[in-house]
Structure 1
Amino acid sequence: MINQLRIYDVPQENAGPFLDRFRHHAARLMKTYGFRIQAMWTEQAEDRLRFVYLLAWQDEAEMKDRWAAFMADEDWAQIKKETAAQYGTFVLGIEDIVLTPTAFSAAIGEDQ
């Protein structure tokens, strides 16, 4: 099992709409594609919001397959198009980190 850490930098003016979109749309659709979100956090910076979440995957093949399916979802494409038209730039950047546990530690979510 591996973990994936995703960190989104969101313009301050779109923090609320971004979190609403993730809560009501992205998380719901991700669940249908078998995403296992372990936890979500925010960090408030001076000019932006950092949204961080941790996923659990069996392996990198599962992670890549599920992400490809989610990103190809027509509903998700439409939601992104509509929110971009309404609010403009939602994400300034994304940091994507794949975490492999050491021999002396388990991945988070391994017991699921």
Structure 2
Amino acid sequence: MLYELRVYDVNPGKMKVIQERFRDHVIQLFMNHGMKVTHFWEDLGEANNRLYYVVEHANMEIRNLNYDRFRNDPEWIEVKRFSELDGPLVNKQESIFMKNAPFFDNK
């Protein structure tokens, strides 16, 4: 299993909007495209304005295929367009790819 930690540096004043976008649209769209979100966090330091989440993937090839399908989904394109009418929600996005360490049971 491949775990992708995605870190979003959210633009000032946009945290509520991006949270609503995930809650109302993106999580379901991810599921529609074979991606399972397992965790969400907000940075404890509000000044950092970061949102974190983990997506499980079978492997990197499947991950890339699923994201390509997601990014080209007409529903996602419209949700993104509408939610960013007042400007982009994210200043920077980073992905960190992880796998289970063999010495620890992560169940």
What's the CA shift string for 1:42-98, capped at 9, x where partnerless?
11432x52110011111111111111110110110111111111x212000001111
Give the aligned partner of residue 39 of structure 1: 39
Q: Give the letter for the 1:20 counterpart.
A: E
Q: Give per-residue Cα distances to partners, 1:6-28, cap 9 Å, x unaligned.
A: 00011231111110011101111
Aligned residues: 106
Distance in 2 (CA, whole Å) between partners of 1:3 and 1:12 is 28
TM-score, structure 2 normalization: 0.89
TM-score, with structure 1 as normaliser = 0.85
CA distance in 2, matches of 1:32, 1:49: 28
- The Cα shift of 1:101 comes to 2.6
1:95 is matched with 94
Match of 1:13 in 2: 13
Identity of aligned residues (%): 23
Q: Flag structure 1 segments of 5+ consecutive residues without an equivalent.
A: none
Pairing 1:64–2:64 present:
yes
Runs of 4+ in 1 over 3 A off after TM superposition: none
